[in-house]
Structure 1
Amino acid sequence: MDPNCRRREFLAGSGGVGVAGVAGCFAAPDAGRERGDSDSDSRSVAVVSQHHLATGAGLETLEAGGTAADAAVAVACALSVVEPWFSSALGGGTWALYYDAESNEVTSLDGVGPVGSDATPADYEDRAGDPGMHQSIVPGAWDGWMRWLERYGRLDLETVLSPAIDLARDGYPVSPGMEHWLEMRADRVEERPDAAAIYESDDGGDLVAEGDTIRQADMAETFEALADAYADRRSEGRTEAIRAARDHFYRGPIAEAIVEFSEAHDGYLTLSDFQDFEAEIVDPISIEYDDDLRVYQNPPNSQGITQLLALNVLKEYDLSGLDPDDADAVHVQVEALKLAFADRYHHVGDPDRVDVPVADLLDEGYAASQRDRIEMDTAMEWPIGSGLADSSSDAVDADHTTTFHVVDGDGNAAAVTTSLGAQFQVIGDTGIHINNRMRMLAVDDGDPNRLTPGYKVRHTSNPYMATRDGHPFVLGGNTGVDTQPQGQTQQFLHVAEFGLEAQAAIDRPRFVSTAFPSTQHPYDVEGTLQMEPEFPADVIEDLEDRGHEVEEGVGVFGTANMIVVGDDGDFQVGAESRSDTADGVVSRVDDD
C-alpha cells in the first residue's frame, strides 16, 4: 500500500457539503455489484474509516482471509499510527458491536479500563482542567481487541498487525487533520520530549507540516513485541498465544513502562490496576424501532443508551413525509435528545458502582410518557428532570474519537467507536499515546459518573448497529463526545425514515444540542442549538421562534462513517465528506 497514493471521487452530496467519496490506491470500489453476481468464487466486503490508509489495512486483512474482527483490529492498529490523536489500540479505550453470522448474534465489546487506584476526587479536582498523566485511566482497548480475535478472529496476530507495523516503520504523510491538531496542541508537544521526538522536524524543532513524512519506530517495535509474544506461544494453540499477547501488555513490560511513566508524572496508575484488568464481551442493549428493525447499542458504562432513549421517543412520530431539514423534524429530534441526555446525566455511570435502571429507561411506557413532554412550539431548557421517579442526582471542544466499520464476505459485521484524547502524551520509548479519559469524570457527591478508584468513567464511545429481520442493516458512528448519540440518531433516521443512501446520510448537515451539562470538565450547560451552515435560513428562523438559541456554524459536529446493507445484500458506504482522509470501499475478495 503506497501511503502517498490517493484518489478522490467527487459525488453530488444531497446536503451540498462537498466531497463525498475518498478512496485509496488499492482495489477499486465495487458498490454497484451485488454479492451474488458474476464472480461466484468471490464475495463482497466493505470497510470504512477515518483514514484511507487504515481502510486499506482493513481491506488487506480481509483479502488475507480475515474476518470482520481481524480487519477491525487491523484498522484500529493502523489508526493508532496515522491518527494518533483520536485513538490508540495501545493507549485508549473501545466500545464496539459485533454481528456473528454463524450464531446470528450481536455482542458488545467493553474495552474500557478503570480509574487508577491512586486517584481521589479531592486530588483530581484541583487538577481536573489541566492536561497530563493524571487524566489517564487504564487503557482497555488492547485487551478488548484480543478478546475479539480470540472469539471471532481467524488470522495470526503478526498478519493482523503487519499493516500498522509497516506504516509506523516506513512512514506516512502528515494529513491536514494531523497538522491542525498538532498546531492546537503545539505547547503540549513542545513540553513533552517523547512527543517532540516524533512530531517536531529534525531541522529546527518546528512541528511537522502537511506532506511531511512521519515515522514511529518505537510504536512499530511495540507492535512487533506483541506479535512476538503471540508467536512464542502459538504452538500451544491460538488461545494461549492470544493470552501471551495480552499478558505482555497488562502483566509484562508494557504495563511496567506505563506505570513507571505515570509515577514519574504524577499519575494514578499502578501495576495491580493493569494486572487485575480484563476486557469483556457483554450483552448489548437494544430497542425494536419497528416491526423488522432493531437498533443495538453498548450498555452502560457507555453512553450508548442515550441514542436508544431518543429513538424510542421518536419512533412514534411520522417523520417519513418530512424533509430531513424541516423545522418540525429538527425540533422533535432535538427535544427527544434533550430528554435522553437528561436521563444520561441523572442515571448513567459504571453499573458496578451505581444502579442504572436500563430496563425502566427503555420501557415502552416510559418512552410514551417522555413523548408527552415534548411540545412542538416550545424548546425545553435546562434543568430537565428525569421522567423516572427517583433521579440519582439533582439537576444542575472536543472530538477525540474515531469510528469505523467492517463487513466481511461471510456476513460478519463490526461497528466500532474507539477513543483516546488529543493530548499527544507519549509513554517513553514505547511509542504508545495514552488517553486522557478522566476529564469526563465528575467529582460531585451523588453524581452517577463520580470519580471512584477502580471503577469506570461513563464512556462516550458508542457505535450502533441496526438489524433488519435479524441481519445487519446499518453500521454507524459519529464522533465528538456529546455529539455522538446526536449525530448517530440523525444518521440512522436519514436512512430509516428519510430514505437516504449512506453517503447522502453522512453528507447531510448536522445539528448538536448543548442543553444539558457537558460530559467533560468544566461540565458547562451552554444551552444552544448548534447547526451547520447548510441549514436553510427559514428553518433556523422557525426554530428560533420556538425558543431554540441557534448558533450557526459553531460547534463540534464530529466525523461520521457508516455502512448500509441493502435488501439484496449490496453494500452502501458513507465516508465522512468533511474529512481530508476518510475512506470507504466496497470490494470483492476471492474465496480460499
Structure 2
Amino acid sequence: MKSSRLLGVALLLLTLVRVPAVQAAPQSMVAAAHPLAVDAGLEMLRRGGTAVDAAIAVQMVLGVVEPQASGIGGGGFLLHYDGAGHAITVYDGRETAPAGASPTMFLAPDGKPLGYREAVVSGMSVGVPGVMAMLELAHREKGKLAWSELFGPAIAAARDGFPVSSRLAAWLQRIPALREEQAIRETYFNADGSPRKLGDSITNPALADTMGLIASRGARVMYEGPIAAEMIDRVRSHPRPGTLSAADLADYKPIKREPVCGPYRAWVVCGMPPPSSGGIAILQVLGLIQPFDIQRDAPNDLRAVHLIAEASRLAFADRDRYVADPAFVDVPVAGLLSPAYLAERRKLMSPDRSMGPVGPGIPPGYVERGTSHISIVDRWGNAVSFTTTIEAPFGAHMMVRGFLLNNELTDFSPRPELDGKPVANRVQPGKRPRSSMSPTFVLDRDGRLVAALGSAGGARIIGDTLQALIGLLDWDLSAQAAVDLPRVINLNGATELEEGTPIADQAAALRALGHEVQVRRHEGGLTAIRRSGDGWEGGADPRRDGAARGE
C-alpha cells in the first residue's frame, strides 16, 4: 500500500515538473565561408527551395562579401545527391583555355617559368569563366524556385552594403598592389589609398547591376553581349595580354560527368573526377592507409600523422604525372584506384621511416600519351557539395562590372615538357586546367548520404578534405570537430604541420623518421555536414569567416 502511494506521488510530481523538450535535429543545413551567405541559403530553403537553389544564392552572396575567393568570374565543381533516388550528378564548371592559348605561354624568353606576379596578374591567366553556365544547368535540372529569386540577397548586399570581414580585411592589407586596378581601388580602398578595415561598410553597385542582368536574362549575358565584350577588352588590353575572344565565351559549355567512388571501411566515398585530381587522390590515400587501422590512433598521434603524410606523398606523385583534362589526356582512373596497384604502392610505406620525395607508379591500363566551399542539405535529403574559385586571392586582379576575373590558367603546368615527355597538364586551347577541388560525399552501403564536405586552399584542398574524412569516419568526430582538426599536409615534398596546434609538437619525431618538416600557418576553408540521428549537423572552418546553421 505504502509503495502504491509513493508511486502515485511520484507520478503526480512528474506531471507538475516541466521536462525540457528534446530539440529536434535540423532537417536542413547550410555551411559556407560567410554568415551572410549562410543566411541567404537558409532563406531559399525556407521558401521551399532545393539544395541547388540554396547553393546558387550562397555563391552569389559569397561573390559579394568574399570577392577574394570566388565569384561569377570564376568556375567550380558541384556534386548533387538526390535524396529520393540516391543518385549523384556531377557538374563541371571549370574554366577553359582560349583558342589562342599556347603550351609555352607561361614561359619567359629564357625558357624558365614566369614569376608569380607576371603570370597571375595578366590577361594570359584568365580562362573562360564557367560557374554561371554550370549553375544555370544545375538549376534547370535540380532547382524549384525561380532563377531570378536566387539573386535577391546578393543584389541587396551589393547595393546596400556589407561589413568587411576579418578575412577580407586581412587580404586587402596583405596585397596593396590591388590598388593599381582602379575599379578595385574604388570599391575596396578608401580615398587616401588605405584598405577598408574590419567592420567598414562596402557597396558594389556595379556588381548589383550585373547580377540583376543575370537574374533577369540568364547566364548567357556573361557569354554574349556587352559584359562579354568588356571582359574581352579588359583581357586583351592588359600590358601582359591574353587571347580571350567572343568565340571562346560563346562556345563555353558546362559538362556533366560521372563521380569517382570507392569503398572505405563501412562506407562509400564519392568525389570529383578529372579534370580535378581531388577525388582520385583522396580515394588513393584512403585505400593506402586502410590496412593500417588508423582508427586506433588518436588524431595527433605520431603514427597517424606519419602515415597520412606518406600516403599523401604517393598520391601527389601520381596526380602530378597522370591527372589532367580527360578530353586531352587518357587518365588511368581505374588503374590508379585498383587494389592491386595500391597494394604495390603501399610497399613503399614504412611505419617507422619516411620514403622522402617519390616518383609516380605505373598503374595498370596506362599507355604513354582563391577558392570557397559550400555544403548544403535540404528538407528532402538532397545535398550539394560545391567548390567554387577564382584561383589566387582576387584572381587576376582585374575587375569588370563589379566582379573579378579569374587567373585559373595558371593551374596549368608552365612547362609543356619534362624529361622530353609532354606534361599531362600542359596548356592547350580549349583545355580545362587540372584542379585540386575536392567536393565529396560519403554514403553508407545502402546509398544513403552520411556526409557532404570539401575545402578551399589550392593544392592543400586534398589534404584538408582527406583529414576531415578520416576524422569523421575513423575517429567518429562531429562535423565541427573534424573541420577543426590540426592539419598535416604532404604534396610529395616537405611534411607540413599547422603552427600553433598540438600537431606541431610532432615535428621533431617526424624529422627522426626522415621527414623534411615545415611548421607553417594554414589557411583552411573546410565546410562539412554529417548525418546526426534523423537530422544533420554542420561545421565551418574556424580559420575563415564561415558558419554552419540548420533548421
Same fold (TM > 0.5): yes
Matches within 5 A, 1:62-211: 62-88=45-71, 90-126=72-108, 127=114, 129=116, 130=118, 131-187=121-177, 189-202=178-191, 204-211=192-199
Deviation digits for residues 219-256 of structure 1, max 9, x if unmatched?
A: 00011011221xxxxxxxxxxxxxxx132221333222
Q: Retained in 2: the 8 A contact 1:511–1:532? A: no
Letter in 2 for 1:532: E
Matches within 5 A, 1:51-70: 51-70=34-53
Letter in 2 for 1:570: G
Q: Retained in 1: the 8 A contact 2:399–2:405? A: no
* CA distance 1:536–1:407, change in 2 (3 Å): closer
SS at match of 1:374: coil
Shift of residue 369, structure 1, vs aligned partner = 1.6
Paired position in structure 1 for 2:461: 484
Among 262, 265, 287, which residue is 2:235 paired with? 262
Unpaired segments ≥5 residues, structure 1? 1-29, 36-43, 230-244, 395-399, 517-526, 588-592
Q: Verify: 1:33 aligned to 2:24, yes or no.
A: yes
Paired position in structure 2 for 1:364: 339
Q: Retained in 2: the 8 A contact 1:346–1:391? A: no
Matches within 5 A, 1:175-324: 175-187=165-177, 189-202=178-191, 204-229=192-217, 245-265=218-238, 266-291=241-266, 293-304=267-278, 305-324=280-299
* Structure-2 separation of matches of 1:377 and 1:493: 21
Q: Retained in 2: the 8 A contact 1:73–1:160? A: yes
SS at match of 2:281: helix
Q: Retained in 1: the 8 A contact 2:33–2:547? A: yes
Q: Verify: 1:545 aligned to 2:527, yes or no.
A: no
SS at match of 2:360: coil
Paired position in structure 1 for 2:300: 325
Q: Retained in 1: the 8 A contact 2:525–2:543? A: yes
* CA distance 1:390–1:282, change in 2 (3 Å): closer
* Structure-1 separation of matches of 2:505 and 2:182: 52
Identity %: 30
Shift of residue 488, structure 1, vs aligned partner = 0.9
Shift of residue 537, structure 1, vs aligned partner = 6.6
SS at match of 1:125: coil
Letter in 2 for 1:578: R
SS at match of 1:417: strand
* Structure-1 separation of matches of 2:507 and 2:140: 50
Q: Retained in 1: the 8 A contact 2:416–2:426? A: yes
* Structure-1 separation of matches of 2:290 and 2:154: 41
RMSD: 2.0
Letter in 2 for 1:571: W
Paired position in structure 2 for 1:463: 439
Letter in 1 for 2:24: R
* CA distance 1:430–1:572, change in 2 (3 Å): same
Paired position in structure 1 for 2:451: 474
Paired position in structure 2 for 1:560: 526
Paired position in structure 2 for 1:25: none
Paired position in structure 2 for 1:337: 312
Moved more, 309-318 or 348-357: 309-318
Q: Retained in 2: the 8 A contact 1:110–1:144? A: yes
SS at match of 1:482: helix
Unpaired segments ≥5 residues, structure 2? 1-20, 109-113
* Structure-2 separation of matches of 1:180 and 1:463: 26
SS at match of 2:89: strand
Paired position in structure 2 for 1:236: none
Paired position in structure 2 for 1:237: none
Shift of residue 387, structure 1, vs aligned partner = 4.2
Q: Verify: 1:515 aligned to 2:476, yes or no.
A: no
* Structure-1 separation of matches of 2:470 and 2:499: 18
* Structure-1 separation of matches of 2:515 and 2:408: 31
Deviation digits for residues 306-327 of structure 1, max 9, x if unmatched?
A: 1111112122221222111111
Shift of residue 289, structure 1, vs aligned partner = 1.1
SS at match of 2:296: coil
* Structure-2 separation of matches of 1:309 and 1:109: 22
Shift of residue 428, structure 1, vs aligned partner = 5.5
Letter in 2 for 1:91: G
| Shift >4 Å, 4+ stretches | 389-394, 424-429
Q: Retained in 2: the 8 A contact 1:258–1:427? A: no
Shift of residue 128, structure 1, vs aligned partner = 5.6
* Structure-2 separation of matches of 1:574 and 1:532: 21
* CA distance 1:83–1:307, change in 2 (3 Å): same
Shift of residue 500, structure 1, vs aligned partner = 0.9
The TM-score, its normalising length taken from structure 2, stands at: 0.89
Paired position in structure 1 for 2:496: 529
Q: Retained in 2: the 8 A contact 1:251–1:274? A: yes
Letter in 2 for 1:462: S
Q: Retained in 1: the 8 A contact 2:530–2:538? A: yes
Deviation digits for residues 405-440 of structure 1, max 9, x if unmatched?
A: 100000000011111121365656511211111222
Q: Retained in 1: the 8 A contact 2:497–2:503? A: no
* Structure-2 separation of matches of 1:106 and 1:74: 21
Matches within 5 A, 1:484-503: 484-503=461-480
Shift of residue 570, structure 1, vs aligned partner = 2.0
Q: Retained in 2: the 8 A contact 1:168–1:220? A: yes
Paired position in structure 2 for 1:505: 482
